[in-house]
Amino acid sequence: MFNSIKSAKRKVITFDDDEENISSQGHDTQSTAAPAEQKSSKATKTKAQKESESSEPTSTAESQEEPTPSTTTLTKKQKRQQQHQYDRPKKIANKEPTTEAIIAKAKDLKKHREALPIYTARDIIIKEVKENACVVIVGETGSGKTTQIPQYLLEAGLAAHGTISVTQPRRVAAINLAKRVAEEVGTPIGQKVGYSIRFDDTSSKDSLIKYMTDGIMLRELLSDRLLLRYSVIILDEAHERTLRTDILFGMVKSIQKKRADMIQAGRRDIQPLKIVIMSATLDAEKFSEYFYNAKIMYISGRMFPVKILNTVEPQSDYVDSALVTAFQIHQDEAPGDILIFLTGQEEIESLEKLIEEYAVDLPPTVGKLIPCPIFAAQDSATQQKIFEPAPHGTRKVILATNIAETSITIPNIRYVVDTGCHKSRGYNAKIGIESLLVEPISKSSARQRMGRAGREAPGLCFRLYTEDSFDQLDEDSIPEIKRCNLESAILSLKATGIEDPTKFDFMDRPSKSGLLKSLEHLYALEALDDTGALTEIGKKMAAFPVDPPYAKVLLQSEKMECTKEAIEIISLLSVDTIFSAPSSKREEANEARQKFMSLDGDHLTLLNTLRAYESVKGDRDWCRENFINSRHMRHVMDVRKQLIEFCERAGMDPRKSCGHDLEIVLKCFLAGFFQNTALLQPDSTYKSILGGLTVSIHPSSTLFGKKREAIMYNELVFTTKHYIRGVSALESAWLSQAAPKYFGNRHA
């Protein structure tokens, strides 16, 4: 089948073409495939994965946006042409549409709106929301919940006393839903319909519908404890059960009660708050019970059917299988773009390179296949690229993590390739270690992924696992609150007046040990006092849009007079890596990096790189020559700008610099990261001070293979072993100075 594809990849994947396997109306009761075999996929890595975990010094994220020569046979010119062709539609898309064009588009979309399955339930939805304080709405993916319900409520006058807010777990969804709904409403984005995500707020005081991330809503709670600017809060994708959404459940529930009590007590200036919970899973009873036995409404049907195809055999290497399937689709199937779900940035970037490599050998009669990556570490502007149309005669293949799994409609996607895996974050509260493991997805995720193929036309979903495997998947994944670090959440709760987070009305209670561990760490960071009350430092920390240890570093930097450097390093750490290291050029990339290398480790190496980048004014050629990812650097500069503004608002001087005395910067970071420290052992390994774990410096670190008496790190993640990233050298004497409370009763 793949005559034109290199012989090593001449392989065909057989899918189970079961006609009955079409999911369209009502819920997906199919017995589709599941990755039981992919439980073992932790052990079966692709070549690219193995390479990235090899002990050679390499960056963890090998992203490269410029036409960096690689192992492919594409010439630089060909790559540039690809890049150019792909960039072209953006200019068109960026043109501001005229008012007439906006109105005409809204008229056009009206027909589409009325054809959505949810339209027949419009009146009853309005009636139920008007009559009830809380409503749970369950609808199949694509039925129209997220785009239509806010508009129905707006049309019914429910925005008369406040904005209708719709929370989303992901910023890419918040942006694109707002854009779409603004089009349907017929006003430019930022007027009637806006969005608000961290570092980007297009909403205005006139916005009647506002899409926002759940994190932004939590932040708004700090300044508006009763969320008085909102009349309706729609918590979307409730089934995802992210940590923030779970916290919001409890917060909005108590706010609704407080507002009702105030009204009862005669406060005529207060309006009631309506809560709508939207979920794509049938298991809505739990939400209903939690929200005082709220009414559940089921909306059946979706726009278009999606046919599910499972592999007949388990696949041992899903990246390889995804590659083959993408080319099978490209050669055999009708036009339409492809969306492949993978587990993370490295996997995405290695598949991107493979697709580019093999696409060169496609016969001239077959159009180009253009890979287009999307993952969380990208900045929003880069993420938006997946929504741009592919040039005529070509096919786009989007390589995504589960960031593209829910809520979004990517135009022209007809084919979904589901590897059945994702990276799942776990947290061991006892020792305070996070883990990031490739694991099988849940059935509910598999359905969401499939749903991306049937948004604009009938689609096909290729599951790279067997039907039996699907049957063995869990129905839903475990709520994040039960498996992640709770510090940020607890700080938010405390800052919004919840004095005892252990008594908070959680829908699913986190483990007691997890809660206590977080409280203990916040106390060590001086965010809480001996009685567990929020300190002044804690209040300030909660207002920063970064995790508590970073917020502590920023506050400490004021005392140590190195705020400029602290802001810069935190911005640099906000992307996965600023370095690019294509596998074919690893040696050259490492050599280039030596120029910026600080013997003290990664923090100061990053700072040196930023200084050099600024000295050439971010020149792209310089970035390419020095294997710096200029796209990520631009994002770093953007975050820096935002952090400067935050510091100014907090009354700090963001320009305060320690000059050449950079040791002070490391001491400053230690004030936030004293728990992330390890000491060199006689056998040359490092043992973490917290938990006594043997930890390994990640190959991407400048201190990889080096011995220092004590080290500090930003991240400790268990993948194949306990890896630490963002590592710098310390003197052990600094430890007790950095956190006397913490090290007082421990041996440092």
Ligand X SMILES: Nc1ncnc2c1ncn2[C@@H]1O[C@H](COP(=O)(O)OP(=O)(O)OP(=O)(O)O)[C@@H](O)[C@H]1O
With CB under 6 A as the contact rule, which of the stretches 402-410, 465-473, 587-595, 635-643 interacts with ligand X?
402-410
Least distance from C-beta 279 to ligand X, angstroms?
A: 9
Q: In this complex, which beta carbon is closest to ligand X, that of residue 250 or of residue 389?
A: 389
Q: In this complex, which beta carbon is closest to ligand X, that of residue 455 or of residue 631?
A: 455
User: What is the per-residue DSSP string for 350-402?
Assistant: HHHHHHHHHHTTS-TTSPPEEEEEE-TTS-HHHHGGGGSPPPTT-EEEEEE-G
- Binding-site string for ligand X from residue 226 to residue 265, where x marks contact by CB under 6 A and - marks none: ----------------------------------------
With CB under 6 A as the contact rule, which of the stretches 37-45, 363-371, 407-415, 522-530 interacts with ligand X?
407-415
With CB under 6 A as the contact rule, which of the stretches 206-214, 404-412, 584-592, 727-735 interacts with ligand X?
404-412
Q: In this complex, which beta carbon is closest to ligand X, that of residue 195 or of residue 358?
A: 195
| By the rule CB under 6 A, 170 interacts with ligand X | no
| By the rule CB under 6 A, 406 interacts with ligand X | yes
Enumerate residues 126-145 that contact ligand X by CB under 6 A: 139, 141-145
CA distance 456 to 450: 13
CA distance 350 to 356: 10
Using alpha carbons, list the distances in angstroms from residue 7 to 2, 28, 311, 641: 8, 38, 22, 50
| By the rule CB under 6 A, 147 interacts with ligand X | yes
Least distance from C-beta 747 to ligand X, angstroms?
A: 52
With CB under 6 A as the contact rule, which of the stretches 401-409, 507-515, 545-553, 606-614 interacts with ligand X?
401-409
Q: In this complex, which beta carbon is closest to ligand X, that of residue 303 or of residue 546?
A: 303
Cα-based angle 113, 114, 117 (whole degrees, multiple of 5):
90
Structure tokens at 282: 């049938």
Least distance from C-beta 135 to ligand X, angstroms?
A: 15
Least distance from C-beta 333 to ligand X, angstroms?
A: 20
CA distance 232 to 236: 12
Least distance from C-beta 109 to ligand X, angstroms?
A: 8
In one-letter notation, the amino acid at residue 313 is: E
Instruction: Answer whether 324's CB lies under 8 Å from 11's CB.
Output: yes
Of 191, 225, 224, 222, the closest CA to residue 208 belongs to 191
Of 48, 66, 35, the closest CA to residue 345 belongs to 48
- What secondary structure, in 3-state letters, does 412-450 show? CEEEEEECCEEEEEEEECCCCEEEEEEEECCHHHHHHHH
Least distance from C-beta 122 to ligand X, angstroms?
A: 13
What number of chain residues touch ligand X (CB under 6 A)? 21
CA distance 283 to 303: 22
Least distance from C-beta 142 to ligand X, angstroms?
A: 4
With CB under 6 A as the contact rule, which of the stretches 146-154, 600-608, 653-661, 734-742 interacts with ligand X?
146-154
Q: Give the one residue of 46, 203, 207, 409 binding ligand X; rule: CB under 6 A.
A: 409
Least distance from C-beta 371 to ligand X, angstroms?
A: 21
Q: In this complex, which beta carbon is closest to ligand X, that of residue 208 or of residue 303?
A: 303
Cα-based angle 671, 675, 681 (whole degrees, multiple of 5):
120
Q: Give the one residue of 456, 508, 547, 638 binding ligand X; rule: CB under 6 A.
A: 456
Q: Give the one residue of 272, 335, 411, 740 binding ligand X; rule: CB under 6 A.
A: 411
Of 10, 12, 14, 1, the closest CA to residue 312 belongs to 14
CA distance 219 to 542: 8
Q: Report DSSP state, residue 159.
A: T
Q: Give the one residue of 68, 82, 176, 207 binding ligand X; rule: CB under 6 A.
A: 176
Strands 134-139 and 295-299: parallel
Least distance from C-beta 451 to ligand X, angstroms?
A: 5
Q: In this complex, which beta carbon is closest to ligand X, that of residue 148 or of residue 231?
A: 148
Q: In this complex, which beta carbon is closest to ligand X, that of residue 367 or of residue 458?
A: 458
Least distance from C-beta 213 to ligand X, angstroms?
A: 15
| By the rule CB under 6 A, 455 interacts with ligand X | yes
Q: Give the one residue of 154, 209, 255, 280 binding ligand X; rule: CB under 6 A.
A: 280
Instruction: Answer whether 447's CB lies under 8 Å from 475's CB.
Output: no
Q: Report DSSP state, residue 36.
A: T
Q: Print burial letters for 690-720: b (CB count within 10 Å at least 16), e (below 16).
A: beebebbbbbbbbbbeeebebbbbbebbbee
Q: In this complex, which beta carbon is closest to ligand X, that of residue 245 or of residue 409?
A: 409
| By the rule CB under 6 A, 146 interacts with ligand X | yes
CA distance 569 to 557: 12
Q: In this complex, which beta carbon is closest to ligand X, that of residue 448 or of residue 700?
A: 448
Of 170, 405, 134, the closest CA to residue 274 belongs to 134
Least distance from C-beta 388 to ligand X, angstroms?
A: 12
Least distance from C-beta 119 to ligand X, angstroms?
A: 10
- 308: Cβ contacts below 8 Å, ≥ 6 apart: 18, 21, 22, 23, 30, 32, 450, 461, 463
Residue 179: in which H helix or E strand, if any?
helix 171-185
Phi-psi region of 363 (alpha: psi -120 to 50; beta: other; left: phi over 0): beta
Least distance from C-beta 457 to ligand X, angstroms?
A: 9
Cα-based angle 253, 259, 261 (whole degrees, multiple of 5):
105
Q: In this complex, which beta carbon is closest to ligand X, that of residue 141 or of residue 609?
A: 141
Least distance from C-beta 117 to ligand X, angstroms?
A: 8
- Binding-site string for ligand X from residue 78 to residue 117, where x marks contact by CB under 6 A and - marks none: --------------------------------------x-
Q: In this complex, which beta carbon is closest to ligand X, that of residue 422 or of residue 708?
A: 422
Q: In this complex, which beta carbon is closest to ligand X, that of residue 30 or of residue 176?
A: 176
Enumerate residues 492-531 that contact ligand X by CB under 6 A: none
Structure tokens at 246: 């779970």
Enumerate residues 295-334 that contact ligand X by CB under 6 A: 303
Q: In this complex, which beta carbon is closest to ligand X, that of residue 165 or of residue 496?
A: 165
Least distance from C-beta 191 to ligand X, angstroms?
A: 18
Instruction: Answer whether 207's CB lies under 8 Å from 187's CB.
Output: no
Q: In this complex, which beta carbon is closest to ligand X, that of residue 154 or of residue 572?
A: 154
- Binding-site string for ligand X from residue 707 to residue 726, where x marks contact by CB under 6 A and - marks none: --------------------
- Binding-site string for ligand X from residue 413 to residue 452, where x marks contact by CB under 6 A and - marks none: --------------------------------------x-
User: How many CB atoms neighbour CB 15 within 10 A?
Assistant: 18
Of 459, 400, 398, 417, the closest CA to residue 310 belongs to 417
Query: Which stretches of the chain bind ligand X, using CB under 6 A?
Result: 116, 139, 141-148, 176, 180, 280, 303, 406-407, 409, 411, 451, 455-456
